[in-house]
Structure 1
């Protein structure tokens, strides 16, 4: 284990603040993402490529949320890791895989909607379930390999505070090693800046296309704006504070006191970034017109006694075969609105997706 400088007052802040945030995220995120997984599976079965990206997003959030009890225990003990070093590595690995697979999947969702609304008839071969599966698999492979360095490095360190007190830290080293600083700068550029540019560009183009389309009703425009804002705000609020602090912490050398203050803020933004696990299921409810009702029906099904000998059929009924509920994804419906003047060809296109 390495040794690091003592920031004892930070441990007292973590003891009260972080468990509250992590418990809040865990309680909401796990059931919400389980429901989102179930509903996105139904969309994948209907050959909806958006469901593939949403499935990957929900799975990533669920994997990270499953490690939150460890982080709760760690912060409640004032940042003293009592589990094995291997478990520290796995927890940190899943945390960073979640952060950057989330930014990647959010970028894919934005680009998919950009093609659907701005070029609904020009690139249908890019909006297939097979392409979505290929892209999603590539994201998982890249993020796994890219963050594998966490598994190989020693992520626990000893922090001595006074003569009789010490902490075993997990992935909380300060000051940063040279390789960590370089790695963080590269990670910020590829995992935050590039996705941010993609999301802003795509959403701005979608907004322009909808704004100048006379066939789109005001109610539909408002719905599109909700979708665009949900994606953009989720990304900006969850990931910008963390990467801002990470970049400041990684660039150049700071005085001891200034560096410690930056590190305190950085630690807080790490906890706040976990809120993306709560925001992503909410995002799904905006993307899918029936997302809220589907998830609600899935939860009702789990709590109501079974009235049929075939639970699988009942689950299918509540999520996809309800008689009076639409099952098209919102953004596909928006594509239909934006292209309905194209007549029967547009109708044929919509039926194919």
Structure 2
């Protein structure tokens, strides 16, 4: 093996461990196979059963969260195909740019709507009745469109250069100030997209849990379930997104310090694997946020698996939607 050959493979976006990348591809295929029908069925309920556009805006946030996840899922088969062929990304420049745009826009939207939903529920539980900016804004359904539009500029730095193949802040004689600025902007987008929502989510979760534990009235079983659910949201977010963030940080350190190609390769492979892990969020989001209401779960089962609920009546029209999501809105 010639000197720097492994490092050159990384720069050319070729997988140095093809067997491991085929395993990554298999994991993505499993995630896609399980998450696509789940998200599609929940999306169907929001549109045709609950008519989310006529309901409270919290359900519009949930709809957008599921929509962002399902759009992100469509990227997984392409990434899996690349990994199977021993490529860390498509060699076709147009496909690569389109993939980066879809991945960062929809991943960012998923995290953004998850964060907004958590803030909304924080005010509902911890400060009920208090006037706040979010409560004023959410009276207008157009706020969801604004969130999508605000996310668009964040995709620009990710597509200016080859982000996915870990070339940020690569030491080179051809380095320029513009390249350094672009690299820094790209990394800032990646880290702030996860770290800031995580801090907000931890803050909201801690205060919601403390508030619920201080309640002296109400069904204790429901309160315990509520504490479990809000804690689960934070745990799932941490499990899906923090590992890839740490791996990215380690990878940047190895690049900036010009570490041995062996360590740069291991860091790049670990980062790719933990990015695959982050896609599990698309599978867990609908389970946590949409099925936190027993009535929504009953509605889902009665629609798709009616044999399970033979002797139970479940409200199916939009007029009962507020009752269906009452537990999900006020407790989580």
Normalized against structure 1, the TM-score is what?
0.75
Task: Quote how far apart the aligned CAs of 1:130 are.
Answer: 4.1
C-alpha contact 1:239 1:273 (8 A) present in aligned 2: yes
| 1:14 and 2:21 are equivalent in the alignment | yes
Q: How many residues of Structure 1 are paired with residues of Structure 2 in the alignment?
A: 302
Gaps of 5+ in 2: 1-6, 171-179, 307-313
State the distance in 2 between where 1:125 and 1:47 align: 20
Measured at CA, do residues 270 and 125 of structure 1 come closer, stay the same or move farther in structure 2, by a change above 3 Å?
Answer: closer
| Aligned counterpart, 2:8 | 5
Partner of 1:28: 34
Name the counterpart of 1:48. Answer: 56
Q: CA deviation at 1:195?
A: 0.7
Secondary structure in structure 1 of the residue aligned to 2:324: coil
Secondary structure at 2:198's aligned position in 1?
Answer: helix
**Aligned equivalent of 1:246, options 241, 245, 248:** 248
Return the offset for 1:280: 0.8
**For the Cα contact (< 8 Å) 1:288–1:330, is it kept in 2?**
yes
Separation in 1, partners of 2:295, 2:91: 42
Could you tell me how far 1:53 is from its partner in structure 2? 1.2
For residue 128 of structure 1, report the CA deviation from its aligned partner. Answer: 6.1
Instruction: Summarize the Cα distance change of 1:208–1:202 in structure 2 as closer, same or farther, 3 Å threshold.
Output: same
Give how far 1:122 is off.
1.4
Q: Deviation per CA, 1:31-65: give whole Å up to 9, x if none.
A: 11112223334262453222111111111111111
Structure 1 Cα separation of the partners of residues 191 and 168 of structure 2: 21
Q: Is the 1:48–1:129 contact (alpha carbons within 8 Å) kept by the matching residues of 2?
A: no
| TM-score of the two chains, using structure 2 as the length reference | 0.80
Asked whether the 8 Å contact 2:212–2:223 carries over to 1, the reply is yes
SS of structure 2 residue aligned to 1:214: coil
d(CA) in 2 for partners of 1:99, 1:125: 25
- Structure with greater proportional strand content: 1
CA RMSD of aligned residues (A): 3.1
Given the alignment of the two structures, is residue 139 of structure 1 paired with residue 132 of structure 2, yes or no?
no
Which piece of structure 1 moves more, 198-207 or 95-104?
95-104
* CA–CA distance in structure 2, aligned partners of residues 43 and 234 of structure 1: 28
User: 1:114-263 counterparts in 2 under 5 A?
Assistant: 114-123=122-131, 126-127=134-135, 130-131=138-139, 133-151=141-159, 153=160, 155=162, 171-174=164-167, 176-177=169-170, 178-179=180-181, 181-251=183-253, 252-256=256-260, 257-263=262-268
Structure 1 unaligned regions, length at least 5: 156-169, 302-315, 336-353
Q: Shift in Å at residue 77 of structure 1?
A: 0.9
Map Cα deviations across residues 57-107 of structure 1 (whole Å, 9 max, x no partner).
Answer: 111111111122211211111117667321221112211223222221111
Residue number in structure 2 paired with 1:111: 119
In structure 2, which of residues 69, 76, 83 is the aligned counterpart of residue 68 of structure 1? Answer: 76
Task: Using the TM superposition, give the Cα deviation of residue 224 of structure 1 relative to its aligned residue in structure 2, in angstroms.
Answer: 0.9
Per-residue CA distance 1:191-225 (angstroms, 9 max, x = gap): 11211111111111111111111113311211211
Q: 1:71 & 1:54 partners in 2: Cα distance? A: 26
